[in-house]
Structure 1
Amino acid sequence: MTQYDYDLFVIGAGSGGVRASRVAAAHGAKVAVAEEHRVGGTCVIRGCVPKKMLVYGAHFAEDVMDAARFGWHIKECKFDWPVLRDNVAADVSRIEGLYTQTLESNQVEIFHERATISGPNEVRLASGRMISASKILIATGAWPAIPPIEGCEHGITSNEVFGLDKIPERIVIAGGGYIANEFAGIFHEFGSKVTLVNRSDKILRQYDAQIRDRLLQISTMNGIEFLFHNEFTKIEKMEDGRLRIHMSSHDPIEADTLLFATGRAPHTKGLGLEKAGVEVDKNGAVVVDDVNRTTCPSIFAVGDVTNRVQLTPIAIREGQAFADTFFGNKPTKVDYSCIPSAVFSHPPLAGVGLTESEARNTLGSVKIFTSDFRPMKNVLAGRNERALYKLVVNGDTDVVVGIHMIGPDAPEILQAAAIAVKAKLKKSQFDEVVALHPSMAEELVLMK
């Protein structure tokens, strides 16, 4: 008989917490999970899932415009934001129900309230109930970071953007990362005048320079305004409800909405980590070892709260590895090398492996192969927008060490191509593959 109420208590029912809970329970553990918001976490409720639905909705703006060149005549074209907003919210609720059902079918007990740590083997629920557990897993994710400037309370974050009453006539987006660029594309397609303000002179720093420069070129050509080397100094709310935004290197501008997309910080504030001796770094991230254990032997952490790689699939893998290691007698460690990623901008971009700059800084010899082309659909539609595919190759071994691309369906193509990079296939093997014609993906095996 265990001396604890549960073998495992998980704080946070996002992607990592749900996976860890379900798998640990399947291994025979008695598991409970506490979630103070909604089951599903950032990805399902206020992140990648609803955002991707908005991306789909936004893309119809281009499709409707292109339709005439393909023989379709649409007499009336009207966008109704509340219809999309409410349909997205309904589907998010449906998925939340599926996550809840998954936990319940695995006999995981769910507490729909906040839980904090009160000791190495004890948590306290918001209701005041104290619960003991052999192991505690922190999976509280990350939260939008807002710069501490005067008037910052007048802005919104990606948490609130899905519930807007209406599409703003003019929106200012703060940041240069994937969230900023994705919502810049979304709101531009919905008809907003979009201005993206960034304190540096680069967007999407972690992506290949040639690819991100192409996105900047296309976005600018489409009418999105970029203000680089600027920081906000003050936000004023005027009598008519609009915002006047003051910046360090630009005259004030006015907007209906200000969206902060300035990064996400580990969600550890007020969790009581100090009561169990759990160490956090200067950014508030929980410090863990390669088996997700914190500085307290009975407490573990997975996902964005550790700030290792803020990606949903990584949180899921970490949750699986934790459960298999400590409850399934299958020691498992997550491999963080060669992780594919994408930005669902307009157009989308994706990459895996070394960028050209990284390769030149780490490898003795590098060969670069590119294909810069106009997709067939864009040609007939009369669009000048060009796609760009890029292979980064180790010049000494002929191994493809990186693939980067921007263009229609780039993330869908990159997922399969990432297998080749992970498997360390050679450029000569790419050349041996017969092209699938006519397709955009065939460009990956036609580069010379």
Structure 2
Amino acid sequence: MSAIPQERRVVTAIPGPKSQELQTRRIAAVAAGVGSTMPVFAARAGGGIVEDVDGNRLIDFGSGIAVTTVGSSAEAVVRRASAQLADFTHTCFMVTPYEGYVAVAEQLAELTPGDHAKKSALFNSGAEAVENAVKIARAHTKRQAVIVFDHGYHGRTNLTMALTSKNMPYKDGFGPFAPEVYRVPVAYGYRWPTGPENCGPEAAAQAIDQISKQVGADNVAAIIIEPLLGEGGFIEPAKGFLPALRQFATDHGIVFVADEIQSGFCRTGQWFACEDEGVVPDLITTAKGIAGGLPLSAVTGRAEIMDAAHSGGLGGTYGGNPVACAAALGAIETMKEQDLNGKAKRIEAVMKSRLTAMQEKFDIIGDVRGRGAMIAVELVKAGTKDPNPEATAALAKACHGEGLLVLTCGTYGNVLRFLPPLVIGEELLNEGLGIIEEALAHV
């Protein structure tokens, strides 16, 4: 359990005087393009609490954007990473390898869907993992085209900006982007013209038709999709959509890539979100929750596909850093020992029950969705489905002022998303939901 008392405490204005002082220094020294959701400076964190430099304790519904799934200072993560720090911080796996990297790859082979032979390559960030998945798919298929989806998010490098669908703030002014990227519809049930019950098969048929006519299936190296879309608004593709695309990929020799960077590692109540409909991807990209807060990412997949790239074609100086690998083994140990999939399902039960009751009470809540501890509400203008980004921003600001850290997302900026650490106590979870309900009443 965390050494930080697991209770909300607001002792100053948010942000407080010390945070304001640090913000002045930040503005002078840090590039303006690096934003912040909440201008409070963290001093320590653990369990479901982030404590700032002014002594305020905030309830954490963000987990550093789905990263600190096991908490910000999980015992096994700290223990294993500390021991590795004392031994060595770096050798570069491509120069003199070490066991930790191999052990992480073995764990990924065990945990990811499918019983086929698997191999992994480790990197630093989610965007790097996605970019390398594209390289591997192209090497394997000897094709170039990559298919992505409306509302998808895959990163901020040049190639992954091309894959990402949202212009502001991710792409605006940063082009030209990488070529041979094609975007098709996704099964967004809440906004599907003929209703959510028709969405899965209709969206799949549309997407497959567009790929076939506009690109040609035989030109496609990879189909890349988040099994539960993150930045695009926590959109759960309607049932049947993912299996249909998986089958289309199989039929045409296309590498099917599940981007599980935000949805992986127990976040949705399963090790990986694609397991919900039994979808087995050829490649799976992971990051965020993999290493308890240390920078690490991976591409894991069918051994014959992973081996398609020539020796030296994959890697990077810091990829699979030994301290990050030790932290990942600690995070996985924590997930297994504390049954964090079970915890995620319990968080879903508590959150959906209360948020659905709020939806009945407040007509600006258009949709409540998500799985596990990856839950969202989409806010609309009352009586319509018109996006309401103004109310979303006001609601987030009100929560922040009361000491609840929440994040927004969505292509239209109208989704409030909840990503609490899976180790959060139920009292804190309910207190946070109470703050949201009160804020809704005022908004």
Q: Do both share a fold (TM > 0.5)? A: no
Rg bigger for which structure? 1
Structure with higher RCO (Cα < 8 A, 6+ apart): 2
TM-score norm. by structure 1 comes to 0.28
TM-score norm. by structure 2 comes to 0.29
More strand by share: 1
More helix by share: 2
